[in-house]
């Protein structure tokens, strides 16, 4: 009996040693695959530029006793306006809407029909006053705009993106320093989008009839936002 107990104890000792030598170190394996520390910050960048293009709308409303007569008169008016816009340097002309509807008096009696048509046109900012003057002289009685924009808007946005990443790096570096760490490599960048407010100018027909309507473009701000993740050392 004593011999059997000794053999059993020896066997358990061998198994214990084999387990100590052969089993993997689970804690060590988990540390080796753990995700490194990181920090995520947002950055905003902006670029100011003076817009060089203007988009405007030019239209005419005509009234006649019948719908057919109103449409015909409106078509003649719009042909004159479109021709004037092209001669004044307007480009990318496009019809925006065409409408015909009856107009009534206070009793609800139909007194005739109104036909409207409007086209948009693009020009350089410097040529916008000439377009307004030419369209008004040709008979346009509905004028609005301009919407101001930059022809190199994509390039401006890319510049804003680069500034946004730079700002994100500065923010992340400040946070890392405050935590007693140093900034590592960028691991993720997510684009947040662009924002480009557009000032506008609206002119009624009477105001547009004044020669050389002034257009002051001012500056526009193109901005971009990003979310950037950095590793920490």
In a domain, 203, yes or no: no
Query: Per the domain annotation, does 93 fall within a domain?
Result: yes
| Per-residue pLDDT at 212 | 64
> Residues 64-121: pLDDT tens digits?
999 999 999 999 999 999 999 999 999 999 999 999 999 998 888 999 999 999 999 9
The total number of structural domains in the chain stands at 1
**142 in a domain, yes or no?**
yes
Which is nearest to 132 in space by CA: 116, 83, 140, 79?
140
What residues make up the domain containing 73?
53-150
pLDDT along the chain (233 residues), means of 10: 42 42 44 66 93 94 95 96 95 94 90 95 92 94 90 92 96 94 93 61 40 74 94 93
Q: Report the CATH number that the domain containing residue 127 is assigned in CATH.
A: 3.30.70.2970
Residue 35 domain-assigned? no
Task: Give me 83's structure tokens.
Answer: 């021709």
Distance of CA 214 to the CA centre of its chain: 28
Task: Single out the residue of 112, 118, 88 nearest to residue 213, CA to CA.
Answer: 88
Per DSSP bridges, beta strands 38-49 and 110-124 are unpaired
Which 8-state DSSP code applies to residue 200? B
């Amino acid at each position: 009996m004593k011999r059997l107990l000794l053999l059993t104890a020896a066997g358990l000792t061998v198994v214990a040693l084999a387990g100590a030598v052969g089993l993997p170190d689970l804690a060590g394996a988990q540390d080796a695959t753990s995700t490194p520390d990181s920090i995520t910050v947002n950055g905003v960048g902006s670029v100011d530029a003076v817009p060089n293009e203007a988009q405007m709308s030019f239209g005419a409303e005509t009234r006649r006793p019948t719908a057919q007569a109103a449409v015909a008169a409106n078509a003649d008016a719009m042909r004159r306006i479109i021709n004037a816009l092209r001669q004044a340097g307007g480009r990318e002309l496009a019809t925006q809407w065409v409408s015909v509807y009856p107009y009534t008096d206070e009793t609800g009696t139909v007194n005739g029909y109104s036909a409207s048509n409007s086209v948009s046109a693009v020009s350089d900012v410097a040529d916008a006053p000439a377009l307004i003057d030419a369209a008004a002289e040709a008979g346009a009685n509905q004028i609005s705009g301009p919407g101001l924009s930059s022809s190199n808007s994509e390039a401006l946005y890319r510049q804003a993106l680069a500034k946004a990443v730079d700002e994100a790096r500065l923010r992340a570096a400040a946070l890392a320093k405050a935590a007693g760490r140093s900034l590592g490599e960028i691991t993720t960048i997510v684009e947040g989008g662009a924002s480009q407010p557009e000032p506008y100018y609206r002119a009624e027909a009477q105001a547009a009839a004044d020669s050389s309507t002034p257009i002051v473009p001012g500056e526009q701000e193109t901005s971009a936002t990003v979310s950037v993740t950095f590793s920490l050392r």
